[in-house]
Amino acid sequence: MNIEIKKSKKPIKYENAIKLLEARLKLVHEKKSKELIWILEHEPVYTAGTSFLKNEILDESIKILKTNRGGKITFHGPGQLVFYFVIDLKKRKKDIRKFINVVENTIIETLKSYKIKSFSDRKNIGIWINDNKELKKVAAIGIRVSKWIAYHGFSININNNLDPYKKIIPCGIKDKGTANLKKISTHKFNKIDKILIERFISNLKNLNV
């Protein structure tokens, strides 16, 4: 599979990452570049997707960066793994719902390898765990599709600070919490990026025409 895999060691400013993704999107559309998987962390930032509402901001002093991805408001920062991609669905089945399933299954299968049971929710996009009978989100998904090329991606909370989520209604969901993997597991997650990449590429083959 002709996909470039890129990993950034230092936190990346959100705006810079999106500029790179959109530049790659254009090149992939013009068939001038490979598809992309990019693993990184972001500098602290609140981002809002295309369906966010102003009343989902609980602290009006925070700065919100509006984006063109799907979804609502979330927070990115150190300790959170961000998995971006630029994937050409024209090479595969043009089925956005099945592509989202690829993303969801990639996260669920990866967490299962760490003996963490997680699941998707058709009403509330993302990946969830049951923490002492309370549903909490551990992974957020935000995807945009342009000319049948899917980009943006998902994020997994590993050992990030969860306090910034108190200033927003994360992903517009009021009655559920947010968790990170370190709070629910004693595992070390230093190889989780490698497993995510392997699972994603393997699951992507299910979309082959």
Q: What is the pLDDT of residues 25-84, one digit of tens each?
A: 999 999 999 999 999 999 999 999 888 889 999 999 999 999 888 788 999 999 999 999
What CATH number did the domain enclosing 178 receive? 3.30.930.10
Burial class (CB in 10 A: 0-12, 13-18, 19+), 87: buried
In a domain, 208, yes or no: no
Q: Which two tokens stand for residue 150?
A: 């899917």
Q: What is the pLDDT of residue 209?
A: 67
Q: What is the pLDDT of residue 149?
A: 97
pTM metric for this prediction: 0.94
In a domain, 65, yes or no: yes
Q: What is the pLDDT of residue 68?
A: 83
Q: Which two tokens stand for residue 19?
A: 């500029």
For residue 54, the Cα-to-chain-centroid distance in whole angstroms is: 22
Catalytic residues: 171
Q: What is the pLDDT of residue 50?
A: 86
Q: Which two tokens stand for residue 18?
A: 């999106």
In a domain, 36, yes or no: yes
Amino acid at 12: I
In a domain, 62, yes or no: yes
> Do 192 and 111 meet the contact criterion of CB atoms below 8 Å apart?
no
> Do 148 and 89 meet the contact criterion of CB atoms below 8 Å apart?
yes
Number of structural domains, the chain? 1
What does the alpha-carbon distance between residue 209 and residue 205 come to, in Å, rounded to a whole number? Answer: 9
Question: Which parts of the chain register pLDDT below 70?
Answer: 1, 209
Alpha carbon distances (Å) from 141 to 31, 32, 61, 128: 26, 27, 25, 11
> Do 143 and 72 meet the contact criterion of CB atoms below 8 Å apart?
no
In a domain, 209, yes or no: no
Residue pointed to by tokens 């609502």: 72
What backbone phi and psi angles, to 5 degrees, belong to 113? Answer: -65, -15
Q: Within 10 A of 68 (CB to CB), how many other CB atoms are there? A: 13
Cβ neighbours of residue 124 under 8 Å, at least 6 residues apart? 137, 171, 173, 176
Q: Which two tokens stand for residue 13?
A: 């400013």
- C-alpha distance across the termini of the chain, in Å: 14
Q: What is the pLDDT of residue 28?
A: 97
What does the alpha-carbon distance between residue 175 and residue 135 come to, in Å, rounded to a whole number? Answer: 9
What does the alpha-carbon distance between residue 158 and residue 181 come to, in Å, rounded to a whole number? Answer: 5
Quote the domain boundaries for residue 7. Answer: 3-203
Q: What is the pLDDT of residue 177?
A: 87
In a domain, 150, yes or no: yes
Q: What is the DSSP string of 63-112?
A: -EEE-SSSS-EEEE-TTEEEEEEEEEGGGB---HHHHHHHHHHHHHHHHH
